[in-house]
Structure 1
């Protein structure tokens, strides 16, 4: 789900401490079950909160920030099943499921609890057996089982899961003003706006009269300045939220733009 790291088709997360992982590009649909703790996500417009025992579907080709909260005394635990396009395409061909229309929904969909889904997720909790090399066939079958169960318990998901189209060309200015604080590559931004990288750069300079890199840094620093000065936020709480990878780089760029360190505002 991240911008740079490959993922397994079935993933089990376990944390003892609060984890603020920043942001991720969700490249495939992800069906998840919150085993313990709380998972908070933000798509830039709305916050979504999931508690123990709840299911969700993260739609592909979306940008999400998230924080993981373990319970008061215990571990944060989550199981995620990645419904990749290759598996969905194969499932479509084998069983005849197709998307009949493009459906506009939020990037994160709450899935109502169902005994079939709970039993399925329980079957994944001996996680070590799926993580072992040589179990690729078993993992593949479990991913197909997840698709079948979602379709049986939530038939309306058919038009979402089997919409195999790529993002179309969209309004660049509106998209970037909404998503500048996501620290993902220009390749991702260009893909999500329905453009090649070269077309994205050309359209960007025509729209903003600046290169993407320069505009992104300036926009992120302006947002950081506003939050620190007007909202009283601490620089250490702001830099990830506005799209910087580390505090030292953020502080250097901030001082270069404003002539003073963020801690002095």
Structure 2
């Protein structure tokens, strides 16, 4: 089985894993509906942690950063169906159904949807497409499925209308607070800009004003200082922390660390170990 299978490209995914996987960072650009078939799905953002198991549904709001962990349970494979509710599609539904589009959505960003017969039957109806990915389903059928999902969500929780049909641009958020909570996510500066509701140029300008450094330089320094703190004060092994801090590889991390502090992370770790023994 390929991981994950795109049943309808860009819209309907089916993922299937046999072993636990941790995805360091996901930039969730669109609203997403996740149905857990088996195993446990855990998502952690800077402010929240969600976990769900078999039969549960989670609706995830667009423009978020999260760490995703996918764990098979009780010897079964991990299986999930993911429906991507892209903005152009939701706009199309709003037009067709003449849905009043509200203003900026201000409620919770991630909502566990109570399961019901309608939603369960809907996901059952998606399974044949998932089980026969070779029989290419036309996009038209895929779009019908997405429309059906949206209708059922609104039927289950009418208050989701504002969540789904909020097409406002992300607010310009407090850049300093946002960067201090999210600096360890390994994503391009362009995505940080978009998440804080700014163009790249405005982001760089505001950033320079607040931190007196260019974003890339600041991110590198901030991650290295955090690494230093974790090794010195928390006695964490360099190999256990570099990914969590947004470094691509251990060698890149060691090289940058040595350039900044004059010794490698391993040398610092060994030195601290001797001091404390």
Q: Does 1:217 align with 2:220?
A: yes
Aligned-pair CA distance for 1:48:
1.4
Residue of structure 1 equivalent to 2:209: 206
Aligned with residue 243 of structure 1, among 216, 241, 246: 246
Residue of structure 2 equivalent to 1:49: 51
Cα shift readout 1:118-159 (whole Å, capped 9, x = no counterpart) = 111111222044665451111111111111110000111100
Distance 2:240 2:50 in 1: 20
3-state SS of 1:20 partner: strand
Distance 1:51 1:233 in 2: 31
- Aligned runs of 1:14-29 on 2, under 5 Å? 14-29=16-31
Aligned with residue 156 of structure 2, among 149, 153, 156: 153
Residue of structure 2 equivalent to 1:63: 65
Residue of structure 2 equivalent to 1:113: 115
Distance 1:209 1:229 in 2: 27
Between 93-102 and 170-179, report the one with greater CA deviation.
Answer: 93-102
1:109 and 1:236, CA in 2 relative to 1: closer, same or farther beyond 3 A?
A: farther
8 Å contact from structure 2 (residues 20, 69) kept in 1 = yes
Residue of structure 2 equivalent to 1:4: none
Unpaired runs of at least 5, structure 2: 1-8, 270-277
1:25 and 1:250, CA in 2 relative to 1: closer, same or farther beyond 3 A?
A: same
8 Å contact from structure 2 (residues 103, 168) kept in 1 = no
Larger Rg: 2
1:131 and 1:248, CA in 2 relative to 1: closer, same or farther beyond 3 A?
A: farther
Between 168-177 and 158-167, report the one with greater CA deviation.
Answer: 168-177
- Aligned residues, how many? 259
Q: Does 1:164 align with 2:167?
A: yes
8 Å contact from structure 2 (residues 34, 58) kept in 1 = yes
Structure 1 length-normalised TM = 0.91
Cα shift readout 1:36-62 (whole Å, capped 9, x = no counterpart) = 111111111222111122110110011
Cα shift readout 1:160-195 (whole Å, capped 9, x = no counterpart) = 100011112222111111111111111111112222
1:167 and 1:214, CA in 2 relative to 1: closer, same or farther beyond 3 A?
A: same
For the aligned residue pairs, the C-alpha RMSD in angstroms reads 1.7
- Aligned runs of 1:53-202 on 2, under 5 Å? 53-126=55-128, 127-129=130-132, 132-133=135-136, 135-202=138-205
Distance 2:236 2:42 in 1: 20
Aligned-pair CA distance for 1:198:
1.1
1:70 and 1:109, CA in 2 relative to 1: closer, same or farther beyond 3 A?
A: same
Aligned with residue 253 of structure 1, among 256, 261, 275: 256
Structure 2 length-normalised TM = 0.88
8 Å contact from structure 1 (residues 34, 79) kept in 2 = yes
8 Å contact from structure 1 (residues 32, 80) kept in 2 = yes
8 Å contact from structure 1 (residues 32, 57) kept in 2 = yes
